[in-house]
């Protein structure tokens, strides 16, 4: 589904990604772990198409299409979703209205008819119970005054509404207490099926207790230096990132 | 992204979709302003002698006055002798009914989305259509007359209802009030007159649609609304003009009078031609709007959505004379490219327990300048006056300006006056977030600004809210690269 080959990217003059290779197939959950500054969030940004990052080498294909050629909104239309580490606030725009616009823009991209009010409400009701999303958040301005946990829950709810093929969770666990992590993880697990995939980017192992990955990759200094199964994450937690640094140095 | 901007900018220009000119023969005055022109206008309208005297008095005052220079706007001097002060579409016979209106004029208004055929009209809205200097049609007159409501052109009001006009014209905005109101008083050619009798709640929206068509002309309309005791009226005006390279002057005066327990809600959707992206052409919009809450427990509410004009200079105000009266001002002013707006309000608290509320939302893009200027005045006898002001500015890009000039004068210790102001920018983060959800940048900007302006947009009559929202989005298209 997603194939990243030898991806290099920089911001201004600073080279951050230095040759990433990654292959994600439908039904899989991949986790990318790594110390601060290793390039984890940059990878998420480059995949979603954020400005200011320049791809200097390599390629990314998504369902056979050259992802890097597409505008951010086209990538979303193709089924790529990014749950933000810091979701933005938009005063005066209700969460419901925002999500309805997003759902219908994505449908338009896919050549589908827009959902009418009734159809949208039905979809929303269904996903709300699935994701344990309270109605009160949906009628408020987008993320305005939301707690950290509410913002992340809103991200996962949007994911459920947009039904992407690939969901990238960028440090979704940061700043959340254990109850909030569990709710978010439950949402992700309910969304998973054999046709979609999840890329979890995290600093800590603990999220992976709830969203169990098939593969774990360690990102260090712009490269994936080690890949393995879930055990690798546990080993990292036990030994700390220094163990990787030492291994790379050798 | 930079190349994208130019293509989008082209769409912006194309998107002033009211820029067409109607080819119709006009009956015009010669250029320039003098006593003979004023006599000509007055004669054209078949006015009584007192009206001509009133105009000449205003003209004499105007000659002694100077154009105000305090606003945060810049423009080349206006040559008042180069303007045509009267231009009327030639119609062979005065239309007796709506069916007799020149089809070309009818088509002009159809193109603007204003149907003059009552059966096709949105139910619940009566329209007075003004083109250049004259009113060409007023719909639903008979139905309104059954309730005793008078809704007609100002010219007709002067002929048919002189006692009302004499009593109220110039009572809120005196002839000598300011340079542009004095000019208007001398040369105004038409506008709307509404009179709501005691205890009547006007069952439909009243609206006037102003259109400038002819070249080199100025439009000077005059609107007067009187709401008798316990009455209610909601009034809306809309404005457009053709795209021309020259600047055209629009200097209107609007007066509102609310008696005991009466309420007037006045909404404006102003979309005069703003000029091109380099600031060539566009309307100079110098307007004086003021209402007086004459009676106790009366209420006047101004709502404006200002997206057009090269220059906007207007301060819809309320004199809170009656005890317990309420004044409100809700404004969204959008400036793009080289547009300049200096707009706001004055709330003058004279009566006891008077309240006012100001919500101003300024949106600036391109190289434009957007200023809020407001005065809250509490007089000696205005015990327990309350004011709340909220002024928010939103910037798109880094070459535009937003300014806030709040003035507060309080002479009574019991007054409570609050002022809040914020300035924010549409951030790249907000846009990227929307993009990531499949929403393109243009739509994202529309969502963000409509969210920003929501509190004001909610005040508009339902029939126009959707239209106004689209207008906001169109005015800012291409402003984010």
pLDDT interval class at A144 (50, 70, 90): very high
pLDDT score for B163: 95
- B433 and A88 within 8 Å at the Cβ level: the answer is yes
* CATH class for the domain made up of A2-249: alpha beta
pLDDT at B214 over 90: no
Contacts for A78 with CB less than 8 Å, ≥ 6 apart? A62, A63, A65, A67, A70, A109, A165
**How many Å apart are CA B206 and CA B358, to the nearest integer?**
24
What ipTM, to 2 d.p.?
A: 0.96
CA distance A249 to chain B (A): 37
pLDDT at B92 over 60: no
Q: Give residues 319 to 338 of B whose Cβ lies within 8 Å of A.
A: none
CA distance B450 to chain A (A): 7
Looking at mean pLDDT, say which of B29-43, B131-145, B459-473 comes out highest.
B29-43
Q: Which of B1, B430, B437 comes nearest A102 by C-beta?
A: B437
- B429 and A82 within 8 Å at the Cβ level: the answer is no
B101-118 per-position pLDDT tens digit:
666 666 666 666 665 655
- Domain range for B7 is 2-475
pLDDT interval class at A59 (50, 70, 90): very high
A148-193 per-position pLDDT tens digit:
999 999 999 999 999 999 999 999 988 888 888 999 999 999 999 9
Of all residues in chain A, the one with the smallest CA distance to B426 is A90
Of all residues in chain B, the one with the smallest CA distance to A107 is B438
- B454 and A92 within 8 Å at the Cβ level: the answer is yes
Of all residues in chain A, the one with the smallest CA distance to B454 is A92
Q: Which residues of A touch B429 (CB under 8 A)?
A: 86, 88
Q: Which of B429, B447, B455 comes nearest A98 by C-beta?
A: B447
B227-237 per-position pLDDT tens digit:
999 999 999 88
- DSSP class of residue A240 equals -
Inform me whether the C-beta atom of residue B143 falls under 8 Å from chain A C-beta atoms.
Answer: no
Domain ranges in chain A are 2-249
pLDDT interval class at B75 (50, 70, 90): confident
B144-201 per-position pLDDT tens digit:
889 999 998 888 899 999 999 999 999 999 998 999 999 999 999 888 899 999 999 9
Q: Which residue is listed with tokens 């820029």?
A: B19
Lowest mean per-residue pLDDT among A137-151, B131-145, B411-425: B131-145
**How many Å apart are CA A78 and CA A70, to the nearest integer?**
9
Disruptive mutation site among A50, A77, A91, A146 for chain B (greatest number of B CBs within 10 Å): A91
Interface of A with B (CB under 8 A): 48-51, 71-73, 75-77, 81-82, 84, 86-88, 90-93, 97-98, 101-102, 105-106, 109, 141-142, 158, 162
For chain B, what is the domain count? 1
């Amino acid at each position: 589904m997603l194939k990243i080959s030898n991806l290099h990217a920089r911001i201004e003059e600073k080279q951050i990604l230095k040759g990433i290779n990654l292959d994600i197939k439908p039904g899989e959950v991949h986790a990318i772990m790594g110390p601060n500054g290793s390039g984890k969030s940059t990878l998420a940004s480059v995949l979603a198409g954020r400005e200011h990052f320049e791809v200097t080498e390599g390629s990314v294909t998504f369902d056979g299409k050259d992802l890097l050629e597409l505008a951010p909104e086209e990538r979303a239309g193709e089924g790529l979703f990014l749950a933000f580490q810091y979701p933005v606030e938009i005063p005066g725009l209700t969460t419901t209205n925002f999500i309805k616009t997003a759902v219908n823009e994505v449908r338009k991209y896919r050549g589908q008819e827009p959902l009418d009010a009734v159809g949208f409400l039905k979809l929303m009701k269904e996903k709300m119970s699935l994701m344990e999303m309270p109605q009160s958040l949906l009628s408020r301005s987008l993320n305005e005054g939301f707690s950290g946990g509410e913002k992340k829950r809103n991200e996962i709810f949007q994911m459920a509404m947009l039904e992407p093929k690939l969901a990238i969770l960028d440090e979704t666990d940061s700043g959340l207490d254990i109850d909030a992590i569990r709710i978010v993880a439950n949402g992700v697990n309910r969304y998973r099926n054999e046709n979609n995939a999840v890329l979890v980017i995290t600093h800590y192992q603990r999220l992976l207790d709830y969203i169990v990955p098939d593969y774990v990759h360690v990102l260090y200094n712009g490269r994936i230096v080690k890949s393995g199964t879930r055990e690798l994450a546990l080993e990292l937690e036990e030994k700390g990132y220094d163990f990787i640094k030492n291994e790379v140095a050798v | 992204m930079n190349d994208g901007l130019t293509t989008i900018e082209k769409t912006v220009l194309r998107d002033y979709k009211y820029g067409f000119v109607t080819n119709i023969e006009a009956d015009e005055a010669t250029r320039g302003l003098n006593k003979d022109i004023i006599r000509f206008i007055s004669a054209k309208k078949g006015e009584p002698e007192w009206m001509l005297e009133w105009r000449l008095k205003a003209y004499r005052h105007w000659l002694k006055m100077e154009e105000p220079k305090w606003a945060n706007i810049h423009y080349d001097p206006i040559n008042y002798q180069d303007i045509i002060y009267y231009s009327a579409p030639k119609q062979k016979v005065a239309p007796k009914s709506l069916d007799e209106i020149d089809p070309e004029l009818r088509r002009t208004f159809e193109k603007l989305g204003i149907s003059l055929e009552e059966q096709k009209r949105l139910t619940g809205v009566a329209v007075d259509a003004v083109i250049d200097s004259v009113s060409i049609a007023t719909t639903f007159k008979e139905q309104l007359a059954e309730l005793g409501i008078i809704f007609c052109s100002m010219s007709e009001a002067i002929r048919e209802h002189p006692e009302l006009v004499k009593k109220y014209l110039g009572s809120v905005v005196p002839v000598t009030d300011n340079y542009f109101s004095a000019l208007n008083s001398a040369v105004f050619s038409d506008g709307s007159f509404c009179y709501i009798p005691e205890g009547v709640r006007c069952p439909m929206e009243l609206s006037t649609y102003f259109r400038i068509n002819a070249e080199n002309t100025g439009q000077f309309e005059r609107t007067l609304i009187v709401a008798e005791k316990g009455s209610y009226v909601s009034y809306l005006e809309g404005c457009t003009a053709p795209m021309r390279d020259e600047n055209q002057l629009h200097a209107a005066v609007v007066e509102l009078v609310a008696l005991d327990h009466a309420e007037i809600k006045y909404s404006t959707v102003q979309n005069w031609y703003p000029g091109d992206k380099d600031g060539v052409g566009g309307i100079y919009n110098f307007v004086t709007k003021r209402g007086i809450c004459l009676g106790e427990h009366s209420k006047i509410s101004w709502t404006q959505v200002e997206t057009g004009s090269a220059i906007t200079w207007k301060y819809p105000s309320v004199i809170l004379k009656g005890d317990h009266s309420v004044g409100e001002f809700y404004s969204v002013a959008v400036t793009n490219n080289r547009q300049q707006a200096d707009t706001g309000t004055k709330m003058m608290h004279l009566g006891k327990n008077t309240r006012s509320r100001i919500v101003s939302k300024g949106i600036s893009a391109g190289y434009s300048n957007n200023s809020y200027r407001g005065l809250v005045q509490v007089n000696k006898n205005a015990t327990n006056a309350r004011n709340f002001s909220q002024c928010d500015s939103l910037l798109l890009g880094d070459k535009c300006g937003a300014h806030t000039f709040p003035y507060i004068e309080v002479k009574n210790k019991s007054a409570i006056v609050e002022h809040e102001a914020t300035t924010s920018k549409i951030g790249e983060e907000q846009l990227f977030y929307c993009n990531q959800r499949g929403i393109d940048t243009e739509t994202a900007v529309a969502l963000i600004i409509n969210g920003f302006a929501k509190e004001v947009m909610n005040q508009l009559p339902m029939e126009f809210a959707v239209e106004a929202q689209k207008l906001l989005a169109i005015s800012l298209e291409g402003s984010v690269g």
